[in-house]
Amino acid sequence: MIELGILFYFITIACVIGINSFGVGIGEGLTGAAALDATNLQPAARNEISKIALFGTVLTETSAIMGLTIAIFMLVRTDPYSLTLFKGIATLGIALAISLSGLVVGIVSCWPAREACFAVARQPFFEQNIMRFMLITQSIIQTPLIFALIVAFMISAQLDDVRTLSGAIRLFSSGLCFGIGSIGPAIGLADFARVACRGLGINRHAYGTIFSFTFISEAIVETPIIFALVVSLMLLFSQAPRDNIIVCAAMLGAALSIGIGTIGAGISSGRTASAAVDQIAKKPEIYPTISKVSMLGQGIIDTSAVYALLVSVLIILFGQYM
């Protein structure tokens, strides 16, 4: 039984660095291809385009650096021969939390960089502002990684106390919950950033309005991630007094409920905001009307994530007494 725990431990380390690098590789390749296409369109702006592509790939790489940090941390801190099967299952939670969010963020954070390359090809003299905007939106897309890092460290801090199956499943489902829950909102965030960067290429006079709209919209789009983080922290700080299969099932159910419930909400909320920013780029003077309609729509879309949060919290509260 001890050997299986060690196997899970090394699978975790491999996943954390391998899957993240896989996503980052795809993202960087797409960025480079877009930079070449943009240079074909506007060869005079090749210096600006290569600068944008360089900074875009550097920020895309954050996901792989995060995976490397976690892998080194786990290799240094944990003694593999002290791991039982239950501790091994709990470490798989770290793998899920980091690698699912890292994979999606790595692939997806190339979208604004791609569109920024084409925007610079259209407006070479506006390169400073486009690059600043791209850097800010890309660093907002990295927030799921920061949250995943919090979840991973809290799981690894509780790793020594795991003695029962339900304790192991509790940590596992906490990682699962955040991992699945960050997929949809990350795609939504990147979709919004992509359309906003394209809008800057279409109309550079809309820079101020797009800039302030971006902050509000991206904050609302990432609300489902925060719900997933709340459920994940609740799972981490709840106690599983009894060790039976029903408690384990309840924990997994809570994680799946909020995890799958946020995918649709995140993607569709991002699409709503990106449609709004498309209109704002074409017609900046309708900003007050469009922004309110978009925010109302996003609020109603987020209601489904709130219901998923409610169900998860109820499962955690009542699942403990089964």
Partner 1 sequence: MQGFDLLESVYWQPFKYIHLTHRFFNINSETVIYTWITLAILAALIIPIRFILHKKGILRFVLITMIRESAEMSKQTLGEFSFNHYVFVMSLFFFIFIGSIIGVVPFIEEPTGDLNTTLALAIVTFCYIQVYAIKVNGLWAYAKEYFSPIFIMLPLNIISKLATIISLSFRLFGNIFGGAMITKLALTATQGSLWLETFALLSGFNLLLIGFFGVFEALIQAFVFAMLALTYLALALKGEEMGLEPTEGNT
**Dihedral over alpha carbons 237, 11, 106, 60 (to 10 degrees):** 100
- The count of other CB atoms within 10 Å of the CB of residue 18 is 15
For 233-272, the DSSP string reads HHHHH----S-SHHHHHHHHHHHHHHHHHHHHHHHHHHHH
Please give the structure tokens belonging to residue 34. Answer: 């877009």
In angstroms, what is the minimal distance from the CB of 108 to partner 1? 19
Name which of 249 and 293 has its Cβ closer to partner 1: 293
Q: Enumerate binding residues for partner 1 (CB under 8 A).
A: 69, 73, 136, 139-140, 143, 146-147, 149-150, 153, 212, 215-216, 219-220, 222-223, 226-227, 229-230, 287-289, 291-293, 295-296, 299, 302-303, 306-307, 309-310
Report in angstroms how near the CB of residue 147 gets to partner 1 at its nearest: 5
Angle 13-15-18 (CA atoms, 0-180°, nearest 5)?
105
Task: Measure the N-to-C terminal CA separation of the chain; round to a whole number of Å.
Answer: 28
> What's the farthest any 2 CA atoms get from each other in the chain?
69
Q: Which is nearer to partner 1, 47 or 303 (CB)?
A: 303
Cα 179 to Cα 175: distance, rounded to the nearest angstrom: 6
45 or 220, CB closer to partner 1? Answer: 220
HSE (side-chain half, CA atoms, 13 Å) at 23 = 28
Classified as helix, coil or strand, 283 is: coil
Residue with Cβ nearer partner 1 (39 or 57): 57
User: Given the complex with partner 1, which of 164 and 279 has the nearer CB atom?
Assistant: 279
Q: Which CB atom, from 29 or from 208, has the smaller least distance to partner 1?
A: 208
CB of 42 to partner 1, least distance (A): 30
- Based on CB atoms, which residue is closest to partner 1, 99 or 232? 232
Which is nearer to partner 1, 20 or 143 (by Cβ)?
Answer: 143
**Contact between 210 and 283 (Cβ < 8 Å):** no
Q: Minimum distance between the CB of residue 155 and partner 1, rounded to whole angstroms?
A: 14
Cβ 170 to partner 1 shortest distance, Å: 19
Tokens 């296409």 label which residue?
37
* d(C-alpha 238, C-alpha 235), whole Å: 5
For residue 259, give the nearest of 302, 225, 216 by alpha carbon. Answer: 225
